[in-house]
Amino acid sequence: MIIYTNEGNPLGLQLLMLAKFAKRSVQVQLVNLNDAKFKDLLILPTLELDDGLRLFSPAAVAKYLLADEGQLRDEWLEWATTLLAPALAHHMAVGHRADPNALPVLNALVKKLDDCLKASPYLAGDKLTAADIAVWSLLAPDGTLKGAQNLDSLHGWYNRVKALPEVQQVLAEQPLKDLSFNALQQSNRYGGLHHVPLKRLSLADSGKLLAETASTVADTVTDEELAAAGAAFTYTAHKDVPQQRTVLPKAGERNVLITSALPYVNNVPHLGNIIGCVLSADIFARYSRCAGYNTLLICGTDEYGTATENKALAENLTPREICDKYFELHNSIYRWFGIGFDYFGRTTTQEQTDIVQEAFKDVHKAGYIITESVEQLLCQKCDRFLADRFVEGTCPHPGCGYGDARGDQCDKCGKLVTATELIRPRCKVCNTAPILRSSDQLFIDLPKAEPRLREWVDKSENGWTHNAKVITRAWLREGLKPRCITRDLKWGIPVPHSGFEKKVFYVWFDAPFGYVSMTKRYTKEYQQWWQPAKGTEVELFQFMAKDNVPFHSVVWPSVLLAINKGHTLVSHIMATEYLNYEDGKFSKSRGIGVFGNDAQETGIPADVWRFYLASARPEGQDSSFSWNDLGARNNSELLNNLGNFVNRALVFCEKNFNSTVPEVVATEEEFILLALVNRELRGYINSLEKAKLRDGIRHLLAISRHGNGYMQTQQPWVLLKGSDEQKQRAATIIALCANIACLLANLLFPYMPATARTLFAQLNAKQTPLNAEKPLATVLLPAGHKIGKPAPLFAKLEQSFIDELKEKYGGTQASKAAADVQSQSSAADLEQAVQAQAEKVRELKASTKDKAVWQPEVSKLLDLKKQLEEAKKSAVSAPASVAAPSNGAQSVQALEKAVQAQGEKVRNLKGSTKDKSVWQPEVNVLLDLKKQLEAAQKAAKAAPAAAAPPVASVDAGKVKALEDKLNQQAEKVRTLKAAGDVAVWKPELDILLGLKNELAALTGAPPAGGQAKSKGKKKK
Amino acid sequence: MCDVAKVQKIAHCLGVAPGKVQLNEEQVVTRTSAKQEAVAGFATILESLANESKSETAQNSKATREVEAQVYQWIEFSVLYVAPGSKDRNVAKQLLADLNKLFATKSYIVGHFITLADLAVYYAIYDLVKSLSPVDKEAYLNLSRWFDHLQNRDDVHQGEPLLNFTTIYLHGWATGTHI
């Protein structure tokens, strides 16, 4: 039999005991329910019998494994699962789930047990039954009965059960200290048992039997932990290790090479990029240096490619100048965020050219290069071959069909796309359809490298994040294809191969080598990092967002394996999921979200940004950036928890002990606190060793929370006014808190370096290395140490300020830019844009229910509408010359706009409420407007020439056809409405409105609207 | 639906006199049968009802030891997760998804026949299903199919009006059900 359970789950103990009493052998397998492999498991622990039957209820297991022992036993079994277990789960809950009612309920429950055991030796009579096992196994973890009073019968029974040889054997395999009811939170997908309400007992108050909740956590501290905490809490002076100028790997030591995915030079990085790559890498690198590993952090900008060429054209600069300009921008943003690269380089260096060209020659010599004639998309209008990113079209992958897929990758399904496979391709610049031309290109033969790659992946992927494994496996499952590594461009590294002199390398063969070339810029000895000598182990950690995984796990390793010169291959791919902005997506191309320079402008310190981003890091699943969350975390975690603890400790020390740290005369209280701190410290180290930065913060904050709790219960401010003995106690408390503050400064350093430095200055202390082998708190500030001047570390972020920021950065960058040039864009252009966008949204909504897909488009639409409104306002104040020539058309147009606005209003209302009385009046207004519009249109038609002189070029037949369609649709809507149901006619009404908009575009807009026109027609 | 009502409903399903059903001082449901035998606890009561019943459902629930154990665990699931979880928005959502997944491959919770497990989960989730919109019901299609199948049994609905599982919105044009 197999028991599937999660770490620390107390119910696993019950299954082990039952199996032992039933004399069945059983294996335990620890699982994580988030793991796709275990998606079929509902509740942990689950027992899998040898015939495959799975039982997740311990009571059911008891009844199945053991013989029938009577109804009384069954009642107790049910009592244990449905009353005792939830009460214990509530009792152990902390934070927002803490439940003050749990203790009285639990007291009543143990009272009942005690009463029962007064009458009989075991719960169900004279003999031990499964009921005793069930109840005992629930009371044993977390030391529930520790410190309980007046429960002699229960205690007697507890000890009798514990002494049974079967129980002793189980406890030898499964120590009690590893179990806690808190682990139930991960035992199912319902968040444990917190949703089970505690039954309000009508029993009289059972009195105080169990010890209070607050001390329950402390009660779980074992004697070994106390002893270890006490032994470690001593002072050893740390020698200053001289910093080497150039870090190089050393044989026999831990050498950590860290890279962050190279940001593309043209884009201003947004918060998602920053936490996904550079900031994560920086935090990890800082930790790694603190832990004493030889650490090198390398990053830089990726500069070659069409996008740069284009940008250069647009800004009338050379590509080199563009790169220089944007490189500085990147550099300054990262510097502001306090990213401490050992070297931040660029790909446009001679070193890069040398390394890439040499690598190419090696790969070619090894026989991994094939030449093939490729069909490429040529835009005749722009007169050039289109790079992948400059083609858009419909995603060719079955089941996706996303309309705006790029030529290299589809934003929606995330799959790679070959530009020529796009359905209905179009040039991103001029929107015309490109044609196919063939030219010779070089390919890297990935299928040939595949066997070696598989072998390497099998043994390396253990250190990768889950998503990196999944993505890589998906690639390998589909089988590798040769990938083109050259392009017909000028801005790139020339291909050193005869016949290809005019071509350059594509990003796949260029950018990854940037890591190597930048290291070469850092030191001439770069090969020690990238091709280390035998005996020197270099661990390569690469940080990136998940869309970058294939380049780092498949393409580049294949190239390096093909070269076969002992290159350092990635051992840890640290891929994050995506960070969303409020509710939508961050997107460089669409300009949604907070960008690096915005963060700077907010006036919120870089360290707070670092802290927030790290604590919202999308580890394991997507997460969202939210202004409110940023404010809340700053105020509750940094200010009230961490800042408060540190400041109180230091101010007490300053005011009452003349800024001199007193001596710690530790009692049990102090050792318990140290033991709890050590638990979190171990968690912190374990998390950071695996680059789980978000978990690391959690442990760090837990330490200051323990500290706050300790200070709150000990109340040194009271003791200070008491007897000498009490003053002595106060001195110990303050000294211990100051030491913990110093520990916190060390732990905080990777996340908030500037704050940590301030804190070190206030402590008048230096950073001490972290001991990852033995994570135990030591004395950092010995008695007699003089501290500096304490001051608050953090400032409160007021809600009004947060609201202001939310408002300010609510729109997209594009719309911010648009606002600047608004005067240039006429209302008519905007209207077309609104219509086109509305059409797109409708189609998207119809095709998918996935809000993530259409939400950004809807936001865009709303934005455009806002702009339109403003443009209209300004147009009203503009000279009337525009309006004069076409009076009739104008009024039609105005009415149409009114209809549209009203229609939107009705749609919104209907979406937000089901209360007909709310939206009915608005619907009436809408219908009224429509009638007016119809009349106005008729009138306008009667005078077509006068109405719309600029529209003369519009195909009259098209207008006619559209009008007919519109009439038909209107008729349909009318009949449907007569029949009743809103749900029925609403979609049709939408179609009708769409048609009206099209008509408006045809008749009301200047001839420049050709695009929208043809688009509208194509869609039919 | 409270535990007392659930026990009474299920007793009727099984063709057994419910006897006296009430909550004891621990707020746990208890039953005192006609023979004056007292039983406490929802799952244990259901077992006692099954022992008194000759109905097909009761016989099914005791078919083998394995079936009996599974039926018990699902009754317990209905007590610990379904009934209280229905009142918590997040838990309810996960619960619906989990059950919907379960019914993707099964017509009944345990085995290929109706058991007490179906009845316990049915009455525990009744209020939640009742609160779902047609769109939600369509999203949980498998669960809806199971629920609709059960509610159409006379011994299950016991005269209550049936919940609507019509999922075509355009019933002005075409009426029909997807399940």
Chain B residue with the nearest C-alpha to that of A203: B25
State whether B76 and A197 contact (CB < 8 Å): no
Residue entry with tokens 């099209």? A998
Q: Tell me chain A's radius of gyration from C-alpha atoms.
A: 35
Examine the predicted complex and report whether its ipTM is higher than 0.90: yes
Residue A320 Cα, gap to closest chain B Cα (Å):
53
* Regions in chain A scoring below 50 on pLDDT: 202-204, 213-215, 812-825, 877-889, 944-954, 1005-1020
- A979 chain-B contacts, CB cut-off 8 A: 172
| B116: pLDDT strictly greater than 50 | yes
State the smallest CA–CA distance between residue A105 and chain B in angstroms: 10
pLDDT in tens, A959-1002: 666 667 767 777 666 666 655 555 555 666 666 676 666 666 65
Contact yes or no for A954/A1002 (Cβ under 8 A): yes
Residue B154 contacts A where some CB pair is shorter than 8 Å: no
pLDDT band at B90 (very low <50, low <70, confident <90, very high): confident
CB contact under 8 A, A63 and B43: no
Chain A environment of B84 (Cβ under 8 Å): 195-197
Residue ranges of E strands in A283-421: 294-301, 343-346, 369-379, 384-385, 391-394, 405-406
Q: Nearest-CA distance from A54 to chain B in Å?
A: 8
> Residue A880: its pLDDT value, please?
41
Are A26 and A49 contacting, i.e. CB atoms less than 8 angstroms apart?
no
Binary contact (B85, A75; C-beta < 8 A): no
Q: How many helices (H) and strands (E) does chain A have?
A: 41, 21
Question: What's the Cα-to-Cα distance from A873 to each of A836, A868, A1009, B84, rounded to whole Å?
Answer: 21, 9, 21, 55
* Distance of alpha carbon A413 from the chain centroid: 18
Write out the DSSP string of A524-536. Answer: TTTHHHHSPPTT-
Kindly give the residue spans of alpha helices, DSSP state H, lying in A634-783. 644-656, 668-689, 693-714, 716-719, 724-748, 753-763
Residues from chain A contacting residue B39 (CB–CB below 8 Å): 71, 75
- Name the minimum distance, in Å, from the CA of A574 to any CA of chain B: 29
Q: Collect all residues of chain A within an 8 Å Cβ-Cβ radius of residue B73.
A: 55-57, 59-60
The gap between the terminal CA atoms of chain A, to the nearest Å, is: 61
Average pLDDT on B20-42 reads 89
Cβ contact (<8 Å) for B69 and A196? no
Q: Both tokens of residue A960?
A: 């006619």
The arithmetic mean of pLDDT across residues B90-117, rounded, is 93
Q: Which residue of B has its CA nearest to A109?
A: B26
pLDDT tens, residue by residue, A709-767: 898 888 898 888 889 999 999 999 999 999 999 999 999 999 999 999 999 999 999 99
pLDDT at A1008: 38
Residues 6+ apart with CB under 8 A from B88: A195
Contact A60 B28 (CB under 8 A): no
Count each helix (H run) and each strand (E run) in chain B, helices first. 10, 3
Strand partners for A379: A384
For residue A144, what are its two tokens? 């529930």
Higher pLDDT, A173 or B70: B70
Residue A435: other Cβ atoms inside 10 A: 12
Q: Which residues of A touch B82 (CB under 8 A)?
A: none
Which positions in chain B touch A42 (Cβ < 8 Å)? 98
| Beta bridge partner(s), residue A188 | A43
Q: Say yes or no: domain B3-157 is CATH 1.20.1050.130.
A: yes
Å between A806 CA and nearest CA of chain B: 27
pLDDT of amino acid A629:
87
Query: How far is A914 from B115, CA to CA, in rounded Å?
Result: 39
Chain B residues near residue A203 by CB distance under 8 angstroms: 25-26
The pLDDT tens digits for A89-132 are: 888 776 556 677 788 888 888 988 999 999 999 999 899 999 99
According to DSSP H, which parts of A140-222 are helical?
A: 152-163, 165-173, 214-219
Q: What local confidence, expressed as pLDDT, does residue A375 receive?
A: 81
Q: Do A190 and B81 touch (CB under 8 A)?
A: yes
What pLDDT sits at residue A981? 57
The confidence score (pLDDT) of residue A828 equals 57
Taking contacts as CB-CB distances below 8 angstroms, the residues of chain A near B171 are 981, 984
Domains of chain A: residue spans and CATH? 2-220 (1.20.1050.130), 255-349+588-601 (3.40.50.620), 626-800 (1.10.730.10)
Q: Which among A74, A199, A201 is the nearest to B44, CB-wise?
A: A74
